[in-house]
Amino acid sequence: MVNINNVLSRAQQLPGEGAEIYRPNKNYELIGLHSTFLWNYCDVVTYHQIVADRLKTLYKEIDVAYEEFRAKREKIDLKNMDDEEAEMYNYRLSMALTGLRDRESEIDSSAAFLKNNYIILLWAMVEQYLGKTLAIGEKNIKGSSAGGSHVWRNTVTSFSKIGIDVKACKGYSNIDECRVLNNKIKHVGAVDEDLAKYPYFSSFLGKDLNTMDFELQRYTDSVFEFVGNVMEEVDLKMV
């Protein structure tokens, strides 16, 4: 069974709990972008919650099916069967058990896909909204925009040219970890030396990512904080 972690959006957390709130307050274009980001962020979290709840139900159903299988097996007295009947009954039990295990494997696969896809969606939001934030910042601070980049170090450099140190923004270390995890999910499938540099993964070198738990709430909170903080810092730089 793959563990399914619950995640909450900032809107679902009580005051004083969860992520800190950062937002632009001056530039209307940034304010509108931040509003759109909040809707998308909540959509991604809600997507995870809906599918996670369904998978938890399926796991409960398979647990019940296993219990029913064990109860049925214990009631049968093979001593009262001849060899042919006993062999046929054992074969049917074996096929039934194989079917249950296959079904559980299907649910495990779906659960692994959910957590992996959630990481990919979180990082996609960071890339998308930082690219748009950078374009607004460059237009207002430099007078023109050079366009975004899918290469992270280039994005970091571009922000530094308008006076924003994204590495100093809240949640950076966690979203950087999310970035690397996203890359390893898509291209490696296991913890390699790059990912093992982060404390959470340091003792799992070589481990299959499909079989691992991820700290999804930590990434969820940090994406919310980081994107908002970058937007706020760009907003403050504008005249």
The percentage of the chain sitting over the pLDDT mark of 70, rounded to a whole number, equals 96
CA-nearest of 28, 234, 31, 233 to 145 is 234
DSSP per residue over 152-193, as a string? HHHHHHHHHTTT--GGGSTTHHHHHHHHHHHHHHHHTSB--T
Q: Residue 14 has which token pair?
A: 């009580």
Which tens digits make up the pLDDT trace of 122-151? 999 999 999 999 999 999 887 766 666 678
On the 0-12 / 13-18 / 19+ scale of CB atoms within 10 A, 175 is: buried
Question: From start to end of the chain, where are the E strands?
Answer: none
Rg (CA), the chain: 24
Q: Cα–Cα distance between 22 and 6 in angstroms, integer?
A: 24
Q: Structurally, what CATH architecture does the domain formed by 25-237 represent?
A: Up-down Bundle (1.20)
CA-nearest of 134, 112, 157 to 234 is 134
CA-nearest of 100, 136, 150, 122 to 47 is 122
Weakly modelled stretches of the chain, pLDDT under 50:
none
